[in-house]
Amino acid sequence: MTTTASIRNKHTGELDSKLVFRPKSRGYFPKGLCLAASLLIIIMLAVILGNIVIGGYHIISWDFLSSPPENGMESGGIFPAIFGTVVLVILMTIAVIPIGVFTAIYLQEYTRPEAHITQLIRMAINNLAAVPSIVFGLFGLGFFIGFIGNGIDSIFYSSEGPVWGQPAILWASLTLAVLTLPIVIVSTEEALRTIPCELKEASYALGATKLQTIWRVILPQAMPGILTGAILAVSRGAGEVAPIMFTGAAYYLPYLPGALNDQFMELGYHIYVMATQSPDIEATKPILYGTVLVLLGLTFALNFMAILIRSRLRLRRINA
Amino acid sequence: MKKILICGLLLISAVGLVMAGTTITIKGSDTLVRLGQRWSEEYMKHNPDIVIQISGGGSGTGIAALLNGTTDICEASRDMKEKEYKLAEQKGIIPYRVSVALDGIAVFLHNSNPVTNLTLAQLKGIYTGAITNWNEVGGPDARIILYGRENNSGTYAFFKKQVLNKEDYSDYTQTLPGTAAVVNAVSKDKNGIGYGGLAWATGVKFAEVKTNDTAMAVLPNVETVSNGSYPISRELYWFFNGKPTGELKKLVNWALSEEGQKIAEEIDYVPLLKKDAVANIVE
Amino acid sequence: MKRMKFKPKSKVHEFLGEKLIAINAFAALIAIVLIFAFIFKEAIPILTDPEIQQEASIDKMTFKQEFYEGRDPKWSWQPNSEVPKYSVLPLVIGTLKAALVAMLFAIPLGVGAAIFSAEFASRRWREIIKPAIEMLAGIPSVVLGFFALIVLATIMQDMFGFLFRLNAVTAGIALGLAVIPIVFTIAEDAMTSVPISLRDAGLALGANQWQVSLTVVLPAALPGIAAGVVLGFGRAIGETMIVLMASGNAAIVSASLTDSMRTISASIAAELAEVVFGSAHYNVLFFLGTLLFIFTFLTNLGGELAVTKLKRRLQGRLS
């Protein structure tokens, strides 16, 4: 029987001596260790969150959220950073969603999973997901600013100073789009897999072409999954600092970014700047904690939304 | 998805309409960024059609930006290096330097540290790693913990030139990305020593500095820096590409005016002597 | 004939649509190639340009150098010196130290919690642990760095009396917090995918639930756990903001975990903004980026191999 064979030692074929069980042991020790590990993680999470909430909640007010920093960041609010973050992730979403969704559709609808091309693309996606964020920063600087930006400048604006060949919100958002591409692809694919085959067959039976089926049947059905992907991407993008340090984030700007080649302030970068470069760290601390709380609240709210949508998606799959 | 796209574009274009007027970009030294920020806040109050954007990152960052043509004004806490002047020449940029304020580099010690004064030679020894214990400079028997700035900072370069005679910092120097981080670290470390602009320090004490064993120990403050008796002091500069004209000229002359210099003093920078400020005004 | 019903126009549409989607699908592949190409491009002068090589060559970056006449040769990272020094060794040591601490911290916790969640936990417990891990994964690294710098460093120094407030242990633990979710998620996945027939066999042989978990399920899922560890290690090597804020950034050649240290990623983050484009320092930083890229590429490959092995093993036993 195969099941017995599997408990035999792989090499000798003899019964593994470890598998001579003492039936009475209740296993409190290993269970306890694993429980302790879980508890420790939960406690650490609680300490971090508790510390940030206690340090930051009292400063959060409408004023704080809606006014710019003042007096060397020792007073005032963080509105430009919130605004910059929002615009940044909107631009990023516009760039990443179509590419991510169509890649997923190609992988799910047009190719067989064991095809070489599928595996190659899949490998690229996995690798892209593992590239360190600082490397994306280097890439953004070298490719978007150095190559594309300077290229545009030398063709269209050769007489002026750099117009596009400098850090800007467009380049930062494109860099983040590359970084979040795997997230969108994976979650769209997950949604595509839940679509019942019958739906597609029905569509074909009615004479629709493949493209029409994708456009009218598959995409609407996959919407929750795409939305989940977008939300997760936004949540990830909003928290990344290393890729935007060289590609567009600014220490302080008195105005909001108004053009695609403006620099911008961003919550994560603002935290980094205040934690390390603010003039008076004690005076800045409440604002620092407040900013951390806002960023954390933002990413958690987004993640929570994604989890909700995803669990509804799972339910649909089970029902189907 | 289309809706999101349209909304996004609308939002961006709407914001685009709001922005108008002249934009001045200032970039560079973290030592100066706070002063630049205060100045621009005040200046923009008087001149609502001017927009000034400021970012820090270090003098090196600002000078690189000036050479790359990405900033109007470069704030620097050190002069440009010969190498950088040469590069500027190659790139067709004529750096124009105006000193806008003074700064003393204070040596920070933990409040409980019994050491009150250090000579320049001792400082050099400490930061190059030749002196590693506080008892060698009259303190308790404890390892000296070195804090310094990241190597893109003008403070790093200035301290290295002025105090270390261009020798390398000890490898054990913890380099932190901002003077505030240095102050914060020293304030929490009873064996710590750090350095940085006068304008930054709260929660630590300043060491008195002597030029040699027999000289008078001088505490850094506005007076000793501006009269030159504190040995580790420097001018803080604005660099322009060519002699500033138009709005840039107005801005720098306003910064050098009595009003501008008073703001500097209010936030703990050292104002220029009046005659120097007047002499620096751009014609 | 069904095909005849389609108008020619829609055939063209169909063709173009498919081709567009197909081209688009290569975005990820193109991105990964471009990333490597554009980072490596800026690192090439170190290999080819003799002028740059005078300051920084592979040889100079790898081996001990006699930087000043008469002084002992040593490894040193001092890019802004009169004699620029670009030894990579101190940075590699720092990177490995932080990653080591992070893994020592994250593997027991991550794997332990994964075993608990997959094998022992009641439903209610699982509903606490899994969201907790997801929340931990959702904390941006700059927030973890902030926490390590402002809070954790003080706690650790008070508890253990570290000489250096910011050191490899503190940075490593904060880094570990970022790694735990990766280890947990992959390990837990691997264990829940172990087929039920294996468990049944164990139970039939008279083992308890927990004995089956530890002696049957765990060994079967081992490649998956290994994948989690390898991928977590890759993350620990490349993570930037945490180490930039919490490691002290002193480039020291030392084995002590309580010394300050400087990682490859933090060096890029701290120094890139300042360098003049095209200088030796600029090329060296891109070279470091290339190293990071290649390293994570390899760890990722290792992780994938392990996952493939896991799948094959589990499927092989099912049949």
Those chains having 3 or more beta-carbon pairs within 8 angstroms of chain B are: A, C
Query: In terms of Cα–Cα distance, which of B47, B93, B90 is closest to B71?
Result: B93
d(CA B59, CA B80): 9
**Mean local confidence (pLDDT), A94-119:** 89
Give the range among A158-172, B30-44, B94-108 with minimum mean pLDDT: A158-172
Q: Residue with structure tokens 């008078």?
A: B216
Cβ pair A136:C211 closer than 8 A: no
pLDDT band for position B211 (50/70/90)?
Answer: confident
What b/e sequence results for A2-37 when a residue is b if at least 16 CB atoms lie within 10 Å of its CB, and e otherwise? Answer: ebeebbeeeeeeeeeeebeeeeeeeeeebbeebbeb
How crowded is the C-beta side of C208, counted as CA atoms within 13 Å? 14
pLDDT at A24 over 80: no
d(CA A314, CA C176): 31
Provide the pLDDT for residue A223: 87
The residue count for chain B: 283
Burial of B253 (0-12, 13-18, 19+ CB in 10 A): middle
Provide the pLDDT for residue B200: 65
d(CA B187, CA A98): 51
C74 → chain B, closest CA residue: B171
Fold classified for A54-65+76-319:
MetI-like fold (1.10.3720)
CB C173 within 8 A of CB C99: no
Provide the pLDDT for residue B4: 52
| All structural domains of chain A with their residue ranges | 54-65+76-319
CB A289 within 8 A of CB A278: no
C218-238 vs C89-115: helix crossing angle, rounded to 10: 140
Amino acid at B56: G
Average pLDDT of every residue of chain C = 86
Amino acid at A94: I
**Mean local confidence (pLDDT), B6-32:** 61
Q: What is the ipTM of this complex?
A: 0.88
pLDDT band for position C8 (50/70/90)?
Answer: very low
Q: What is the pLDDT of residues C239-278, one digit of tens each?
A: 999 999 888 888 888 888 888 899 999 999 988 876 777 7
Nearest CB to B53; choose among A70, A71, A263: A263
Q: Residue with structure tokens 């710590």?
A: B192
Fold classified for B21-102+235-280:
D-Maltodextrin-Binding Protein; domain 2 (3.40.190)
**Mean local confidence (pLDDT), A128-144:** 93
CA distance B202 to chain A (A): 7
Phi, psi of A290 (to 5 degrees): -60, -45
Q: What is the pLDDT of residues A46-81, one digit of tens each?
A: 999 999 999 998 888 888 888 888 766 677 888 999
Those chains having 3 or more beta-carbon pairs within 8 angstroms of chain C are: A, B
Cβ pair A128:C202 closer than 8 A: no
**Measured between beta carbons, which residues in chain B are less than 8 angstroms from residue C260?**
172, 174
Provide the pLDDT for residue C308: 85
| All structural domains of chain B with their residue ranges | 21-102+235-280, 104-226
Q: What is the pLDDT of residues B117-146, one digit of tens each?
A: 899 999 999 999 899 999 999 889 999 999
Cβ within 8 Å of B, C 209-248: 244-245, 248
C271 vs C178, more confident:
C178
Average pLDDT of every residue of chain B = 83
> Per CATH, is B104-226 categorized as 3.40.190.10?
yes
Q: What is the pLDDT of residues A219-256, one digit of tens each?
A: 888 888 888 889 889 989 998 999 998 888 887 776 78
Q: What is the pTM of this model?
A: 0.84
pLDDT at A294 over 90: yes
CB atoms within 10 A of CB B76: 30
Q: What is the pLDDT of residues B54-76, one digit of tens each?
A: 877 678 778 888 887 878 999 99
Per-residue tokens: B98: 């105006």
Cβ pair A21:C208 closer than 8 A: yes
**Mean local confidence (pLDDT), C75-97:** 87
Q: Do the bridges between strand B192-197 and strand B145-149 make them parallel or antiparallel, or are there none, so unpaired?
A: parallel
Q: What is the pLDDT of residues A267-280, one digit of tens each?
A: 999 999 888 877 66
